[in-house]
Chains A and B, each alone.
Chain A
Amino acid sequence: MNFKKTTTLLLTGMLALSMTAGCKKKEEGAPAEAPKAAADTIKIGFLGALTGDVAMFGKPTLEGMKMAAEELNAAGGLLGKKIEIIEADDRGDKQEGASVTQKLISRDNVIAIVGDPTTGITKVAAPIAQKAQVVLLSAGATGPGVVENGDFIFRDTLLDSVAIPACIDFFAKDMGYKKVAVITSDNNDYSVGLSQTFLAAAKTKGIQIVADEKVKDGDKDFSAQLTNIKAKKPDVIFFSGYYTEAALIMKEARKQGLKANMFGGDGLYSPKLIELGGTAVEGAMSALGFSPEQATPVTAKFVEAFKKKFSGAEPGLFDAQGYDAIMLLADAMKRANSADPKVFKTALAQTKKFEGVSGTISMQANREPIKSPLALLEVKGGKFTLKAKVPVKID
Chain B
Amino acid sequence: MATYRLNGDSDLIDNPSPRCACMLVLDTSASMFGPPIRELNAGVQSFISAINEDDMAACSVELGVITAGGKVTEQLPFTTAMHISQCRQFPAAGLTPLGEAMTLALDRLEERTAAYRKAGVAYYQPWLVVISDGVPTDQWQAASARSRALAQQRKLVVMPVGVEEADLEALSAFSTRPAKRLDGLKFREFFLWLSASMSRVSASTSTTDQVKLPPTDSWDSI
A binds B: no
Listed in ascending order, the chain A residues whose CB lies under 8 Å from chain B are none
